[in-house]
Chain A
Amino acid sequence: MSADLAAALLASTLTMAVPLLLAALGELIAERAGVLNIGLEGMLLGGAFAALTVALLSGSVALGVAAALAVGAGLGGLLALFVAHWNANQVVAGTALNLLAAGITGVAYRAVFGVTGAALTITGAPALPLPGLSTLPVLGPFFNQTLIGYAAFALVPVVGGWLAYSLGGLRLRMVGENPHAAETQGVAVRRVRLAALVCCGMLAAAGGAFLSIAYANTFVEGMSAGRGFIALAIVIVGRRSAPGIMVAALCFGFATALQFHFQALGLAVPFQFFLILPYVLTLLVLAGFAGRAAAPAALGQPYER
Chain B
Amino acid sequence: MTPVLALRGITKRYGGVAALDGVDLDVRAGEVHALLGENGAGKSTLMNVAYGLVAPDAGAIAVDGRPRRFANALDARRAGIGMVHQEFALVDALSVAENLALALSPPGEWRWRRARVAAAAARLAARAGLELGDLDAPVGGLPVGLRQRIEIVKALAGETRVLILDEPTAVLTPAESAQLFAVLDRLRGDGAAVVFITHKLSEVTALADRVTVMRRGRVVARTTRGEADEAELARLMVGALLLGAAAVPAPAPDAGLQLQLEAVRVTRSQSVGLDGVSLALHAGEILGIAGVDGNGQDALFELLTGLCPPLHGTVWLGGAPLRHFDPATLIDAGVACIPPDRLRQGVVAAMSVRENAALNRRLLGAGGWRVLPAAQRAAAQTMVDAYAIKADGLDTPVRGLSGGNVQKLIVARALATAPRLLVAVNPTRGLDIAAAEAVWAAVGKALERGAGVLLVSTDLDEIVARAHRVAVLYRGRLSAPLARPFPVERLAALLAGREAA
Q: Do chains A and B touch in the complex (CB under 8 A)?
A: yes
Q: How many angstroms between the C-alpha atoms of A170 and B77 in the bound complex?
A: 20
Taking CB atoms, residues of chain A closer than 8 Å to B94 are 170, 173-174, 177
Query: Mostly helix, strand, loop or mixed at chain A's interface?
Result: helix
Which residues in chain A, 159-193, are within 8 Å of chain B measured between CB atoms? 165-168, 170-171, 173-174, 177-178, 180-182, 184-187
Q: A184-B73, A185-B103 are in contact. Are A177 and B89 (CB under 8 A)?
A: no
Q: Is A54 an interface residue (CB 8 A)?
A: no
Q: How many angstroms between the C-alpha atoms of A173 and B94 in the bound complex?
A: 8
Beta-carbon contact of A167 and B109 below 8 Å: yes
CB distance from A16 to the nearest CB of B (A): 32
Q: Which of A166, A181, A187 is B110 in contact with, Cβ under 8 Å?
A: A166
Q: Is B388 an interface residue (CB 8 A)?
A: no
Q: Is B111 an interface residue (CB 8 A)?
A: yes
Beta-carbon contact of B111 and A181 below 8 Å: no
Taking CB atoms, residues of chain A closer than 8 Å to B126 are none
Taking CB atoms, residues of chain B closer than 8 Å to A294 are 93
Beta-carbon contact of B93 and A167 below 8 Å: no
Beta-carbon contact of A297 and B111 below 8 Å: no
Beta-carbon contact of A165 and B93 below 8 Å: no
Residue of B nearest to A177 (CB): B91
Q: Is A296 an interface residue (CB 8 A)?
A: yes
Residue of B nearest to A161 (CB): B111
Q: A167-B102, A170-B98, A170-B102 are in contact. Are A184 and B110 (CB under 8 A)?
A: no
> What range describes how many residues of B lie at the interface?
10 to 19
Beta-carbon contact of A167 and B110 below 8 Å: yes
Which residues in chain B, 81-117, are within 8 Å of chain A measured between CB atoms? 89-94, 98, 101-103, 105, 109-112
Q: Is B119 an interface residue (CB 8 A)?
A: no
CB distance from A170 to the nearest CB of B (A): 6
Which residues in chain B, 308-362, are within 8 Å of chain A measured between CB atoms? none
Taking CB atoms, residues of chain A closer than 8 Å to B111 are 165-167
Taking CB atoms, residues of chain B closer than 8 Å to A297 are 92-93
Q: How many angstroms between the C-alpha atoms of A170 and B72 in the bound complex?
A: 21
Taking CB atoms, residues of chain A closer than 8 Å to B74 are 186
Which of A165, A181, A182, A294: most chain B CB closer than 10 A? A181
Taking CB atoms, residues of chain A closer than 8 Å to B109 are 167
Q: How many of A's residues come within 8 Å of B, CB to CB?
A: 20
Beta-carbon contact of A167 and B103 below 8 Å: no
Taking CB atoms, residues of chain B closer than 8 Å to A187 are 102
Taking CB atoms, residues of chain B closer than 8 Å to A166 are 110-112
Beta-carbon contact of A186 and B101 below 8 Å: no
Q: How many angstroms between the C-alpha atoms of A184 and B82 in the bound complex?
A: 11
Taking CB atoms, residues of chain B closer than 8 Å to A168 are 110
Which residues in chain A, 174-218, are within 8 Å of chain B measured between CB atoms? 174, 177-178, 180-182, 184-187
Which residues in chain B, 358-401, are within 8 Å of chain A measured between CB atoms? none
Residue of A nearest to B103 (CB): A185
Beta-carbon contact of A180 and B101 below 8 Å: no
Beta-carbon contact of B112 and A165 below 8 Å: yes
Beta-carbon contact of A181 and B93 below 8 Å: no
Taking CB atoms, residues of chain B closer than 8 Å to A170 are 94, 98, 101-102, 112
Beta-carbon contact of A171 and B92 below 8 Å: no
CB distance from A88 to the nearest CB of B (A): 15
Taking CB atoms, residues of chain B closer than 8 Å to A296 are 93
Which of B72, B73, B91, B102: most chain A CB closer than 10 A? B91
Q: A165-B112, A180-B89, A296-B93 are in contact. Are A174 and B73 (CB under 8 A)?
A: no
Beta-carbon contact of A167 and B91 below 8 Å: no
Beta-carbon contact of A181 and B91 below 8 Å: yes
Q: A166-B112, A170-B98 are in contact. Are A181 and B90 (CB under 8 A)?
A: yes
Taking CB atoms, residues of chain A closer than 8 Å to B98 are 170, 173
Residue of A nearest to B77 (CB): A186
Which residues in chain B, 44-85, are within 8 Å of chain A measured between CB atoms? 72-74, 77
Q: How many angstroms between the C-alpha atoms of A180 and B102 in the bound complex?
A: 15
Which residues in chain A, 30-85, are within 8 Å of chain B measured between CB atoms? none
Q: A166-B112, A184-B73, A186-B74 are in contact. Are A173 and B102 (CB under 8 A)?
A: no
Which of A180, A185, A186, A187: most chain B CB closer than 10 A? A185
Beta-carbon contact of B112 and A174 below 8 Å: no
CB distance from A265 to the nearest CB of B (A): 42
CB distance from B363 to the nearest CB of A (A): 30
Which of B72, B90, B98, B112: most chain A CB closer than 10 A? B112
Beta-carbon contact of B112 and A181 below 8 Å: no
Beta-carbon contact of A167 and B92 below 8 Å: no
Encode contact with B along A80-116: 1 for CB under 8 Å, 0 otherwise: 0000000000000000000000000000000000000
CB-defined A-B contacts under 8 Å, sample of 24: A165-B111, A166-B110, A166-B111, A167-B101, A167-B102, A167-B105, A167-B109, A167-B111, A170-B102, A170-B112, A171-B102, A173-B93, A174-B102, A177-B93, A177-B94, A178-B92, A180-B89, A184-B73, A184-B89, A185-B102, A186-B72, A186-B77, A294-B93, A296-B93
Extra inter-chain contacts (11) besides given A166-B111, A167-B109, A171-B102, CB under 8 Å: A166-B112, A167-B101, A167-B110, A168-B110, A170-B94, A170-B98, A170-B102, A178-B92, A181-B89, A181-B90, A186-B72
